[in-house]
């Protein structure tokens, strides 16, 4: 499998915020932003995996930093940060541009994990990643740390669930003698 450069899959998507996207205060609903983050991330992941579909496995560190308003342009910038044997991380940055003034602000960021799927809808490896800048290398190192933390958190949760299950296992009922 031939490695692919980060720039080969970088994606920029836009969405003009309409009244149907907003709450009564005129701010774009977080769910609308999240939907567009997932779409931009999936396009980026599919561009990297070429020939495979991808599915969203998780969303990490979803951070809303500032509101986006009706009439503004959401600009979503997605980039593959890391590829492992079974998944890939895509970072998505959302900016909001006031089309009248040109003012641009960072409104949200998230890290998404995608899994490439073969024609039988089974996970398949994605191509390795070729870094083209120090920024790409830094993002990869940060993504690997996030992956390690997610894996450790899953291990802790599983252990806690196992402990809880063993503590809840029914013991023989103790009865008082009535006579």
User: Per residue in 11-42, pLDDT tens?
Assistant: 999 999 999 999 988 899 999 999 999 999 99
C-alpha distances (whole Å) from 150 to each of 14, 61, 125, 157 are 30, 11, 20, 10
Q: Is the dihedral of CA 142, 144, 149, 150 positive or negative?
A: positive
| Residue 178 clears pLDDT 60, i.e. is over it | no
**pLDDT bucket at 177, cuts 50 / 70 / 90:** low
CATH H superfamily, domain 4-164: Hotdog Thioesterase (3.10.129.10)
Convert the pLDDT of each residue in 56-107 to its tens digit. 999 988 999 999 999 999 999 999 999 998 899 999 999 999 999 999 999 9
Convert the pLDDT of each residue in 116-175 to its tens digit. 999 999 999 999 999 999 999 999 999 999 999 999 999 999 999 988 888 876 665 565
Residues whose CB falls within 8 Å of the CB of residue 146, separated by 6 or more in sequence, listed in order: 60, 61, 89, 111
Using CA atoms, how far apart are residues 114 and 10, in angstroms rounded to an integer? 15
- pTM for this predicted structure: 0.87
């Amino acid at each position: 499998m031939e490695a692919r450069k980060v720039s080969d899959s970088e994606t920029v998507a836009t969405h003009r915020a309409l009244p149907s996207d907003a709450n009564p205060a005129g701010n774009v609903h977080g769910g609308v932003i999240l939907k567009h983050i997932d779409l931009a991330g999936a396009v980026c992941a599919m561009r990297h995996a070429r020939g495979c579909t991808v599915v969203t496995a998780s969303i990490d560190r979803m951070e809303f930093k500032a509101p986006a308003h009706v009439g503004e342009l959401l600009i979503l910038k997605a980039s593959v940060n890391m590829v492992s044997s079974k998944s890939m991380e895509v970072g998505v940055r959302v900016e909001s541009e006031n089309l009248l003034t040109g003012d641009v602000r960072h409104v949200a960021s998230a890290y998404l994990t995608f899994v490439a799927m073969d024609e039988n809808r089974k996970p398949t490896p994605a191509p390795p990643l070729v870094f083209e800048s120090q920024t790409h290398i830094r993002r990869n190192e940060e993504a690997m740390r996030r992956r390690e933390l997610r894996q450790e958190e899953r291990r802790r949760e599983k252990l806690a669930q196992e402990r809880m299950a063993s503590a809840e296992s029914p013991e023989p009922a103790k009865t008082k003698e009535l006579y």
